Structure 1
């Protein structure tokens, strides 16, 4: 652990003082982590992993190994105890594994068949198709949040640089900003980087840039209520810790869950924390679609018409207030399936 941390820090060209300042950890603790005289907490492991770009799983395994050895040492019963513990961990893991319904399981199988089919048509893909579908995504995502621009008007603002009479400056900026945010998540996808707090804040910064500049890319400092929902987001002083747990959950589950489930969970968990004054919905959908793109799927474009919007909000409400995510997971999976079917019908013509 100590060698791993020190080597990673030196490779990044950082001093212990700089690491301490960035992570909000006492400099003396950083030095103790590297000397081996003090062990980081799980939360500190997550922060160090992201800053020093050390694979989270590698760091966690090293951390847990050292904790185990410290606790049991060379006790004569140590190996037998480890064998018993291994069996118990396997049992607990199988019990705690996310349970999904047969309906959702079958839908995921259908989606994966469609993805395989799409992969065989990839050579027929074109920039024009992608551009048109991304424009639709910007239009629908903004429409969910109340933007009144039509698809054609959104196109004119983004691709022709025109100003639409009767539409507010905010609506113009929402269109431009969202399109730039799509470009940003595509860049992240191509670089194949693991989602981290810095990138999430950058996405939100793009969404609110020029609209509410003082809150763009910053967690909220006040309590908020979600219009039309009975869910009450956490108090502002809890947001930073909730977001820390959010990224720990992601690192722990990113290679365990089906990509559709992972993407939907990351969407629901973020919008439930509601860490920003505004732009939570757009940011959550972008995070969901970043994960889908990274896993080789396509953008799940949730429509902004009344019926689709109400179904979207109702399934989220159920997930947030009744601790039942089934309807929301089904909604996202069905959306992805429909988008895959449409995409294939376009490029297979």
Structure 2
């Protein structure tokens, strides 16, 4: 067997191994996500059996598929309240997980994520401006557009201050992001301070995060943003692997480093801005999920990105269950739940990094 044939066989074997891991990852992840969504829809102030949950879903999809054995109240709770809420939590978790993995890979900084870097704060500022000062000038797309503009503005500030040149200390990016986050949060609070007091209550949602306003009609925007940004992340996963070896090595392999960083950071700002517009500020998902994904599937971004999406979806669905049931019938803002869990995770990371 020639050397060329051996290398070809080795490459084929590697591709098959990657595909097998991908198939196993998706099968296991989607199964766990299905169970988490089922649990989320079932639990609440009115508990509904699992069989009833999916019987209602099948009936709404095809009225002739199953004969109703439940009352109208249960159907309304399952289909109009809990189902869109669980799906929005899954979409937001998947988007934030992938955005965190992309930003960590782009900056080669394990502490980077959209929340810590101030991208979420910029999106929240844009959403607050749209809600309190502008109004629906672009119809239903107004808040998502302003949130994306705010996220992009925050990202531009961070890049301008910290820089993304090859010689830049990567910790500067996190420090710049934290500083920008505080400044933008102060600006958002200033907008709230001078706004109509009657409208302030509606903005508190964006500052703490939550899925209580989820509706079927609102799922199209975040789902479309997830598909677009996810496609951008996945097709650049191989280049992201090359970037992990350093800018010079990536350039040698033919990767346009500057353009790649710009594409991935804009895609991260885009998905973060749209998701914040519908769920408010939710922190630490983009920090935690990529680390857990790497522990499970290794460092190949072709696996890390989809794993981060699935883990983020599962995590936020489960976190929303905690937010809804811990002090039922009142909801705890989801940002409080993720902030508490994420803060402990962040401290654990710091302790682990300091350990010999």
TM-score by length of 1: 0.31
Report 1 or 2 for greater relative contact order, CA contacts < 8 Å, sequence distance ≥ 6.
Answer: 2
Give the structure with higher Rg (CA).
1
- Between structures 1 and 2, the one with greater helix share: 2
